[in-house]
Amino acid sequence: MSDKTQVSDGKRAATDPLAGQAADARYKGFNASADPWKVIGTLQYGEDRTLASTVERVVLDADASQYPGFEKKLLALATDPACTEAGYGFICRILSLIASPASVAALKDRLTDDNEVKAYLTRMVIEQVPGDEALAALREAAGRVKGREAEGLIGAVKARESSRQGAKTF
């Protein structure tokens, strides 16, 4: 089943009475688009984000078994040279909810991106991934980055290490 057909039956409208016609109309646009996923990557700040929001909705509604496929698709968009800063931000927000070590491997070099906006957005994804790969990537980047993101990375590493040691947070 393709990702597009996941919502082509207007599932949201049927199950969410508050969303109603607005959601139905949104999915019609989504289904009419040749490649709604690709739209996210070229998003500009302030532009209509209806299709991008619909992609996000698809991910939020999906079964966890679908996450690896979505992650692969989002990583391809994120690493596409045509990806805009705003698009990268939207992708990273979605990825942060489903990312696995595969995202760490694909994105870790971007933790030290000269563009501090993108470097932070990358950390937004990697910080959410459990496991040693993410901690290693954060630690390695913290040793190399200068500027405002250095402190963000150090804070992320400290939080991870504290959590790992079983420190009581509350």
Q: Which of 117, 131, 132, 164 binds other proteins (CB under 8 A)?
A: 117
Helix, coil or strand: residue 18: coil
Q: CB of 105: closest distance to other proteins in angstroms?
A: 19
User: Is 98 a binder of other proteins (CB under 8 A)?
Assistant: yes
Task: Determine contact, residues 92/115, Cβ cutoff 8 Å.
Answer: no
Q: What is the CA radius of gyration of the chain?
A: 18
8 binds other proteins (CB under 8 A): no
Residue 138 C-beta: closest distance to other proteins, Å: 10
Q: Shortest gap between Cβ of 124 and other proteins (angstroms)?
A: 5
Q: Based on the shown chain and the rule CB under 8 A, indicate whether residue 47 belongs to the binding site for other proteins.
A: yes
Q: Return the residue of 74, 127, 134, 137 that touches other proteins, per CB under 8 A.
A: 127
21 contributes a contact to other proteins by CB under 8 A: no
What is the separation of C-alpha 31 from the centre of its chain, rounded to a whole number of angstroms? 21
Per rule CB under 8 A, is residue 150 in the interface with other proteins?
yes
Query: What does the DSSP assignment read for 28-92?
Result: HHHHHSS-HHHHHHT--TTS--HHHHHHHHHHHHS-GGGHHHHHHHHHHHHTSTT--HHHHHHHH
By CB under 8 A, tell whether 16 contacts other proteins. Answer: yes
**Which among 62, 60, 65, 92 has a CA at the least distance from the CA of 77?**
92
**Which residue in the set 1, 5, 17, 114 belongs to the binding site for other proteins (CB under 8 A)?**
17
Cβ at position 151, least distance to other proteins in Å? 4
Q: Can you say whether residue 35 is alpha, beta or left, with left for phi > 0 and alpha for psi between -120 and 50 degrees? A: beta
Nearest to 71 by CA among 136, 25, 3, 22: 3
User: Which residue matches tokens 């607005």?
Assistant: 22
Q: Which residues bind other proteins (CB under 8 A)?
A: 15-19, 22, 26, 45-50, 53-54, 60-61, 64, 89, 96-98, 116-117, 120-121, 123-124, 127-128, 147-156, 158-159, 162, 168-170
